[in-house]
Amino acid sequence: MTTEQPAVVLIIDDEESVRRSISAFLEDRGFTVLEAENGRIGLDVFRRAHPDVVLVDLRMPEVDGLEVLSTIKRESPETPTIVVSGAGVISDAAEALHRGAWDYVLKPIEDMAILLHAVEKVLERTLLIRENRKYQGQLEERVKARTAQLEAANAMLRQQMEAAERADEERARLQEQLHQAQKMEAVGLLAGGVAHDFNNLLLVISAHAELARGRLSRESDIGGSLEDVLRSLEMVEQAVEQATGVTRSLLSFSNRLPVAKRATDLCVGIEEASRILRHTLPASIELVIDTGCEPAPWVNADPTQLQQIVLNLAINARDAMPGGGKLRISVSPPATDAVESAPSRTTGKHIARLVVSDTGTGMPPETQSRIFEPFFTTKSRGRGTGLGLAIIHGIVQDHGGQIEVHSEVGSGTTFTISFPCVSQESSNGEAVRAPSRPRGHGELILLAEDEYQVRAIVAATLTSLGYEVVQAADGDALLECFQRHQSKIKLFVLDVDLPRRSGLDCLRDIRTRGVDTPAIVISGSVDVELDAQLDRDTILMRKPFQMSELGRQVCSVLAAARGRHKAKV
Amino acid sequence: MSTPISIMLVDDHALVREMLMERLGRESGMQVVATASNGDEAVIQAKAFEPDAVLMDADMPGQLCFDAAKTIKMLLPRTLIIYLSAFFHDRYVEDALAAHAVGYVTKDEPPDAVVAAIRKAASGVAYFSPKVQSRIVIDAAGPTLAHPSKSKSSCLTRRESEVLRYLARGMSKK
């Protein structure tokens, strides 16, 4: 229905006077009115004309109003129907509404305004229903379109996710392959590097051993050769020490070994390292050692690692000077680090500098930027592992220092390593700084545990902490030990599950004798009832526990027992 | 006079074996009754001599020394196992603990440490360095090590480590 066209009203009533009066009234109000004198004709008109509203009487010949209502509801449920009937009984009204009538107006119609109101109301309702349906239809369309969009996006996302998953799997697989390859490469390079270093040192050892043998065999002929022999033996010892250093550095590189730092005169450390160089560098290389600085620069360093720094830098310098040249190793006296511009530095600190410079081939900037990367090397295969400078970098960092490189192609390379200075007396050993561990004073502890290894480890822990320990492997032995040392025992450390008699059973036996010596009961089970079985002088330690934890617990229990004892006195 | 502690030395280096035999031979109350140069031989010798203590190198070719120790402990539960190794390595210490060892001595310790470890083990007291000892965890299944280090070598499998050890010893890859 549109506002431009008048609404069409179909009146189905067998009383002509009624049809006429309603028709006249509605036409006056702008409606187009169709009329039918019975139900059958009414339905015919309805099917042909598709009126906007149908007014129908209930009592009619042939096809009555109720049937008309049912038919219209079935064929066109959106067409409003209003019953206009004189049969004013409730059952008729109920039946009419049941069959689809939208409203009910009683005849005779005393006030036509009531009918008009009813007609307008149903038309308005129809309009609203249609608009609502149209809106719903549009909404459904939009939802359908949006759903389609979302489904498409979802499908695309799923595809992307599947692709990403496949890519992840592929990346993981490649990473694993790369990891394996790197591992093998690292193993090969490490093995090669170690073999190379050791071969050098073995060469030094065998050469000096041969020299010593030769000199000894000629001793009878040449006087004073014993001194040379001693010098050769000294060199052998140094090479052995160096080999130990190589092993130590490798272990340190793989985080296996703590470094042994101590207050070291940097000059002395470097001189020792340099001595071996004099015998290993080719004659074409002039070695200049300048360590005569005053005052002595004391640094907190591992001397073996200092040697390694010098050796590695010297080997690189040697390789950079195949035709010979000058290698200079110098140490500068402590200076205040106030003029440095590097933002990471703490100014005002005393630092000592180790400078290693050569007159070799030098490096272009792109090589300089990568030299501290592990496995980066410019040497030919088999000549270098690419680990030397990475190790040095690690060592310098570990010593709180910094390493800088300056190089020019054709002019040579200079490495400057700065170490923070310390006082001569200071020692940075871990033992000095570590907090003191709780220690005993010879208190006797009765330890009962059936597993030999566990008992031995616990006994070792307790004795190392300064306690005396007597051991028992089962319940009977525990009670025997108790009888023997009763007055001296300051603490029981018992496993719950001892053979012959359980630890708790033994403890109960001991307690009945009036002994309130503290006890630590060890249990590997998750028996929640266990706590309830313990007396106030006994504590429970559940496995797993660390030995350091046991040490603390023993110390704390004994301290508490001493406190109780003092309170009693 | 009490019976001396009978000891079997297991090390693939003849020089180390001889040095230890000479050193332990000077100790009263200790007697080296057998030697072996690898894990397989160690098991055979242990069966034959039933030593009180086995001092075993942790880094030998052939049957892994930790497996050999387990076999020996199975055959001779009262025999004490003490490891001698070039260095402390968490994995070795863990393997040693799993093999019921009561001692772990490194080769950079003086030979007296070996004597002390044997004597301690025989008296029922384990011998580990204090640093390692404080990290031992007593679990229901036995002792293990807390916070084992994540060194780069941990990315190697047991077999890869073994092969690398052989290579480091200069053995042929064939």
| ipTM score for this prediction | 0.77
- On the question of pLDDT at A543 being above 90, the answer is no
Q: Please list, in sequence order, all residues whose beta carbon lies within 8 angstroms of the beta carbon of residue A451, skipping any fewer than 6 positions away.
A: A495, B142
Are the beta carbons of A261 and A268 closer than 8 angstroms? no
Q: Enter the pTM of the model.
A: 0.43
Residue A559's pLDDT is what? 85
CB pairs under 8 A between A and B: 106
Answer whether B126 sits within 8 Å of A460, measured CB to CB.
Answer: yes
Min Cα distance A500 → chain B (Å) is 19
Q: Report d(CA B10, CA A566) in Å as an integer.
A: 54
As beta bridge partners, residue A299 has: A264, A421
B170: left (phi over 0), alpha (psi -120 to 50) or beta: left
Mean per-residue pLDDT over chain B, rounded: 82
Residue A257's pLDDT is what? 45
Burial code (b: 16+ CB inside 10 Å, e: under 16) for A48-58 equals eeebbbbbbbb
Pick among A194, A202, A439, A454 to test the B interface (most B CBs inside 10 A): A454
Mean per-residue pLDDT over chain A, rounded: 80
Judging by beta carbons within 10 Å of its beta carbon (0-12, 13-18, 19+), is residue A297 exposed, middle or buried? buried
Q: How far, in whole angstroms, is CA A418 from its chain's centroid?
A: 35
**DSSP secondary structure of A81-126:** EEEEES---HHHHHHHHHTT-SEEEESS-S-HHHHHHHHHHHHHHH
- Confidence category of residue A357, pLDDT binned at 50, 70, 90: very high
- On the question of pLDDT at A351 being above 70, the answer is yes
Are the beta carbons of A270 and A289 closer than 8 angstroms? yes
CA angle A377, A378, A382 (to 5 degrees): 70
| Chain B contact set for A199 (CB, 8 A) | none
Report the chain A residue with the minimal C-alpha distance to residue B152: A254
Answer whether A255 sits within 8 Å of B87, measured CB to CB.
Answer: no
Residues in chain A: 569
Residue whose pair of structure tokens reads 């042994």 in the numeric block:
A260
As beta bridge partners, residue A103 has: A82
Q: SS3 breakdown of chain B: % helix, strand, coil, rounded to 5?
A: 45, 20, 35
Are the beta carbons of A346 and A402 closer than 8 angstroms? no
Greater confidence (A550 vs A171) lies with: A550
Q: Report d(CA A474, CA A451) in Å as an integer.
A: 10
Please name the residue ranges forming H helices in chain B: 14-25, 39-49, 65-75, 90-98, 111-122, 130-133, 158-168
Residue A305's pLDDT is what? 75
Out of A178-187, A490-499, A552-561, B14-23, give the one with best mean pLDDT: A490-499
Please give the single-letter amino acid code of residue B76.
L
| Chain B contact set for A471 (CB, 8 A) | 124
Taking only the tens place, the pLDDT of each residue in B127-172 is 987 767 778 888 888 888 876 555 555 666 666 766 766 666 566 6
Q: Report d(CA A468, CA A487) in Å as an integer.
A: 14
Q: Report d(CA B146, CA B152) in Å as an integer.
A: 18
Taking only the tens place, the pLDDT of each residue in A25-44 is 999 999 999 999 999 999 99
Residue A445's pLDDT is what? 95
Largest distance between two CA atoms of chain A: 165
Answer whether B130 sits within 8 Å of A464, measured CB to CB.
Answer: yes
- Token pair recorded at residue A44: 């015919």
Taking only the tens place, the pLDDT of each residue in A441-483 is 889 999 999 888 899 999 998 998 889 999 999 999 999 999 9
Taking only the tens place, the pLDDT of each residue in A396-431 is 887 888 889 999 988 899 999 999 888 765 544 333
- Share above pLDDT 70 across residues of chain B, in percent, rounded to a whole number: 80
Q: Please list, in sequence order, all residues whose beta carbon lies within 8 angstroms of the beta carbon of residue A288, skipping any fewer than 6 positions away.
A: A326, A327, A328, A329, A330
Q: Which residue of A247, A251, A543 is in closest CB contact with B138?
A: A543
Q: Which residue of A186, A256, A547 is in closest CB contact with B136?
A: A547
3-state secondary structure of A409: coil
Which of A216-225, A362-371, A509-518, B14-23 is the least confident region?
A: A216-225
| Chain A contact set for B128 (CB, 8 A) | 457, 460
- On the question of pLDDT at A110 being above 70, the answer is yes
- On the question of pLDDT at A435 being above 50, the answer is no
**DSSP secondary structure of A462-487:** HHHTT-EEEEESSHHHHHHHHHHHTT
Min Cα distance A467 → chain B (Å) is 13
Residue whose pair of structure tokens reads 């990471």 in the numeric block:
A344
| Chain A contact set for B146 (CB, 8 A) | 546
Min Cα distance B167 → chain A (Å) is 8
Integer CA distances (angstroms), A297 to A136, A223, A270, in order = 90, 41, 11
Residue B51's pLDDT is what? 96
Integer CA distances (angstroms), A253 to A6, A80, A315, B69, B93, in order = 99, 93, 19, 30, 20
Residue A539's pLDDT is what? 87
Largest distance between two CA atoms of chain B: 53
The B-side interface with A (CB below 8 A) comprises 86-89, 97, 100-102, 120-121, 124-128, 130, 133-140, 142-144, 146, 149-153, 155-156, 160, 164, 167-168
- On the question of pLDDT at A155 being above 80, the answer is yes
| Chain A contact set for B144 (CB, 8 A) | 544
- Share above pLDDT 70 across residues of chain A, in percent, rounded to a whole number: 78
- On the question of pLDDT at A16 being above 50, the answer is yes
Q: SS3 breakdown of chain A: % helix, strand, coil, rounded to 5?
A: 50, 20, 30
A454 touches chain B (CB under 8 A): yes
Residue B162's pLDDT is what? 67
- On the question of pLDDT at A68 being above 50, the answer is yes
Answer whether A544 sits within 8 Å of B140, measured CB to CB.
Answer: yes
Residue A2's pLDDT is what? 45
Pick among A183, A527, A546, A549 to test the B interface (most B CBs inside 10 A): A546
